[in-house]
Amino acid sequence: MCRTVRYRVQKPALREGRGLDMHTLCSMPTPIIGLTTYPADLENKLHARVEYVEAIRRAGGIPLLIPPGDPRAVEILDHLDGLLLSGGGDIDPRLYGGQDHATIYNVSAERDSSEIAMTKRVVADQVPMLGICRGAQVLNVALGGTLHEHLPDAVGDQVAHRTPDRQPTRHPVSIEPASKLAEVLGATSLEPSSWHHQAVKRPAEGLRIVARAPDGTIEAIEMPSHPWLIAVQFHSELRAAVDPTEQRVFDEFVQAAAQYRIRRARGKK
């Protein structure tokens, strides 16, 4: 039995049939997945939600946390097989020609700078990437797109994208059948956890809209010219341990990273 599986079979999610099977885990190389973290909090601590870590581990990857603020962040990509841009605070609206808004919160210039730089490098080098919530917005802004500063101002309150006290909620999402995301999930509809007040407004050139909420909010984008680049506005990590469909986006992402690792070892990307 491979070492990765010996560790992972102790995980309840794998015993219940979620995550990758033992044969797949043993036969694929172990990819290293960069996971961006939140900036330092009021207690001067850096952190990332454990759900991201667990979803990557269930898929067979090794998560490597990347704190914001290092101007050499792009150099880390030379040692990674995939990048997961996690959720978090809002992007500075000046970076996409937006306006300040009373609801904008937890802006971090350091995080914006390092994540945008890494995103541009991921696109150029065709490194597998998964963006979640803020991660989808970073992708769009990095490539020249814009955001809604506050969704209710644009689409109203027909669909709640978070609760009034800024906690997760759920709503339906429709996925384009002929999209990479639909292929990955094996589904064209989903009711994931939603936890945001901003979203993509104008997609950057080269990005394709592949999912929407009932109010028209863009819920996922992908880059057809890239081997594996998907970004979702919803939080699949929150339900991945109990919903195999939402775990699949991590499984497929990590498998793509494993293939990238093989190509990189052979001198190809």
Query: What positions carry a catalytic annotation?
Result: 133, 235, 237
In terms of phi and psi (left: phi > 0; alpha: psi -120 to 50; beta: otherwise), the region of 207 is beta
